Structure 1
Amino acid sequence: MTANATDFYHSERRRRAIHGWLLLTPTLVMLTAFAFYPSIATVWTSLFSRGTRRNPSEFVGLENYARLFEDPTFREVALNNILYAAVTIPISIAIALVMALWANSKIPARGFVRSAYFTPTVLPMIAAANLWLFFYTPGFGVLDQILSLFGAPSVNWLGQPGTALWAVCAVTVWKESGFFMIFYLAALQTIPEDLREAAEIEGASRWTYTRRVVLPLLMPTTLFVLVNALINSVKLIDHLFILTKGGPSNSTKLILYYIWESAFAFFDAPAAAAMTVIVLIVLGAVAALQFRLLDRRIHYQ
């Protein structure tokens, strides 16, 4: 290779590198401003004590984390969130898959069915919560009106610890199932029609075709939906403001609501920062575990 060719090669390589970095710069700026810097600042804040005018904050290391694990309210909130996630995630995904399979089939008014399923998703969180208050209001709500037809007594769905969290779970399932359905519906429409025709020629039933062909091909979508559902399970706060405000007796208080309460109601920013760091670590670990366990099944390795 001549000197001129070598210089041209290195010049072209530098030009492409500069062009690539210029394309990445807007994304890097946004990620730094809204992801990297806030994350680092949150970790740093969690290592200091709560400051006041007379007693400024001091470096305390992991003391905030140790105090959190000794806090009974934090343990209760964590258990609430685990139960909430364990209920809402599988039910939402299962209902979304069933709705997508039905909405993708040849049924009358298919467009109307798809729109009806997706409507709860486009409703604002506050509007959806207020709508469900109409169902849950003791004595006057739709649920109590239906139960009264069978002689059942009135139930304070949001006012007693035994039913409040389940009522919030029902709202979440109703709100998120249509959102997850869209991803499944899009994935179903990418499956070649030849596979269904081949299954029919081989004499496979609809259930066998769904179980042996459709569901395996939907595994990448399922993993994507599962990770999104996991993230959504720890960021619920809008509904709680309208429905329960974390009560009664902390029975519906979830982790993000407790973080908000610690930071803006109790003005304990270090404790809120410590909880945020714990949530980020747990979410990252669970998501990595999900990818590791499901990757082989998705790619048939």
Structure 2
Amino acid sequence: MNQATTHAHSAANTNNAATPQAPRVNRAERRLHNLFGWCLLAPSLILLTLFAFYPMLATLWASFHSRGTARRPSVFNGIENYRDLLSDPTFWQVAGNNLLYAGVTVPVSIALALSMALWANARIGGRGLVRTAFFTPTMLPMIAAANLWLFFYTPGLGLLDHFTALFGIGPTNWLGQPGTALWSVMAVTIWKESGFFMIFYLAALQAIPPDLREAARIEGAGRWAYTRRVVLPLLMPTTLFVLINALINSVRLIDHLFILTKGGPDNASKLILYWIWEMAFAYLDQAGAAVMTVLVLVALGLVAALQFMFFDRRIHYR
């Protein structure tokens, strides 16, 4: 029995010796792999640091300092700049303008983009011409589009006044009245952004399997029922993507205002980004511009967090 046990142990040791062991990665090779990975990440990290992280931290630091001059350098004053900004009536007027601007342009642009995408995706003659017509405003530069609409809004000579004259309405200074200036800027934004958002909806519509339409027809569903119960739920991820982009665009409009209204009359059409530029470069109030920038970044961060924590988990069609 002892001899059998001895032979068994010998055979096991022989098998273990014959089995190849996994090569051990030494510390030098592991460090080399880590160094190679950091070298691949270095260009992106450098660019993000120079153009994103450092400006963000510098803006946050500047928002806690007073307005400096050549004779009197800036000093740390805590949240005093935030108190001054929140007590400024112009801030609330500009914030109200931007909320109204976003509340009108975002849903209207999305609704028009979806309608145009459904039309451009339908089996109609001249679909290529329709798509080109819808997308043409997007290809125009911001300044060119603003100058085009500036001609439309010219009192007495513009196309809009010629149209309203057919109904007996006299010339109107669309960009020079507080009641119409912001709405005129909204019209330009909706006209320009709807075609851009249409492209995303059109791509999403073309990605829907045609078998779903055939199945809906077999079940007796009409066009409206198929659109409401199948197409729109499948387009919800695209809608969320377009919504976030539209919200971001609503706080970074500045080109149109330079050409059309310059924020007037009496701040009636002034929006957040234009006011930040005005404070920083026209009034040389770097601290006030930094405070406003920080508040905008916080608001956009909250919107992004809301997207990933709430909407992104509930919109996907299952």
- What TM-score, normalized by structure 2, do the two folds share? 0.90
Please, which runs of 5 or more residues in structure 2 have no aligned partner? 1-18
Deviating more after overlay: 23-32 vs 116-125: 23-32
Matched, 1:169 2:186: yes
Indicate which of 122, 127, 152 corresponds to 1:105: 122
Indicate which of 52, 68, 73 corresponds to 2:85: 68
How far apart are the structure 2 equivalents of 1:189 and 1:14?
A: 48
For residue 5 of structure 1, what is the aligned residue in structure 2?
Answer: 23
- Could you tell me which amino acid in structure 2 is paired with residue 226 of structure 1? L
Residue 43 of structure 1 contacts residue 273 of structure 1 at CA under 8 Å; is this kept in 2?
yes
How far apart are the structure 2 equivalents of 1:15 and 1:196?
A: 55
- Could you tell me which amino acid in structure 2 is paired with residue 151 of structure 1? G
Equivalences for residues 161-240 of structure 1 within 5 A:
161-240=178-257
Please, which runs of 5 or more residues in structure 1 have no aligned partner? none
Indicate which of 290, 294, 303 corresponds to 1:286: 303
Equivalences for residues 25-36 of structure 1 within 5 A:
25-36=42-53
Matched, 1:88 2:142: no
Pairwise CA distance, 1:56:
1.1
Aligned length: 300
Residue 204 of structure 2 contacts residue 238 of structure 2 at CA under 8 Å; is this kept in 1?
yes
Pairwise CA distance, 1:116:
0.9
Distance change in 2, residues 1:11/1:112 (3 Å):
farther
Matched, 1:150 2:167: yes
For residue 256 of structure 1, what is the aligned residue in structure 2?
Answer: 273
How far apart are the structure 2 equivalents of 1:300 and 1:108?
A: 32
How far apart are the structure 2 equivalents of 1:38 and 1:103?
A: 42
How far apart are the structure 2 equivalents of 1:210 and 1:11?
A: 60
- What CA deviation, in whole Å up to 9, does each residue of 1:38-65 have, x standing for no partner? 1011101111101112211101111111
Deviating more after overlay: 126-135 vs 149-158: 149-158
Pairwise CA distance, 1:99:
0.5
- What CA deviation, in whole Å up to 9, does each residue of 1:269-299 have, x standing for no partner? 0100110000000111122223333223223
For residue 13 of structure 2, what is the aligned residue in structure 1?
Answer: none
For residue 64 of structure 2, what is the aligned residue in structure 1?
Answer: 47
How far apart are the structure 2 equivalents of 1:4 and 1:147?
A: 83
Residue 244 of structure 1 contacts residue 252 of structure 1 at CA under 8 Å; is this kept in 2?
yes
For residue 159 of structure 1, what is the aligned residue in structure 2?
Answer: 176
Residue 223 of structure 1 contacts residue 291 of structure 1 at CA under 8 Å; is this kept in 2?
no
How far apart are the structure 1 equivalents of 2:70 and 2:109?
A: 48
- What CA deviation, in whole Å up to 9, does each residue of 1:54-104 have, x standing for no partner? 211101111111100001111100100000000000000010011111111
How far apart are the structure 1 equivalents of 2:34 and 2:246?
A: 37
Distance change in 2, residues 1:68/1:193 (3 Å):
same
How far apart are the structure 1 equivalents of 2:308 and 2:136?
A: 31
C-alpha root-mean-square deviation of aligned residues, in Å?
1.8
How far apart are the structure 1 equivalents of 2:53 and 2:151?
A: 42
For residue 242 of structure 1, what is the aligned residue in structure 2?
Answer: 259
Matched, 1:20 2:37: yes
Residue 105 of structure 2 contacts residue 189 of structure 2 at CA under 8 Å; is this kept in 1?
yes
Residue 233 of structure 2 contacts residue 317 of structure 2 at CA under 8 Å; is this kept in 1?
no
How far apart are the structure 2 equivalents of 1:266 and 1:281?
A: 24
Pairwise CA distance, 1:3:
7.4
For residue 137 of structure 1, what is the aligned residue in structure 2?
Answer: 154
Residue 120 of structure 1 contacts residue 175 of structure 1 at CA under 8 Å; is this kept in 2?
yes
Pairwise CA distance, 1:15:
5.3
For residue 14 of structure 2, what is the aligned residue in structure 1?
Answer: none
Pairwise CA distance, 1:13:
5.6
- Could you tell me which amino acid in structure 1 is paired with residue 306 of structure 2? L
How far apart are the structure 1 equivalents of 2:28 and 2:140?
A: 54
Indicate which of 117, 122, 133 corresponds to 1:116: 133
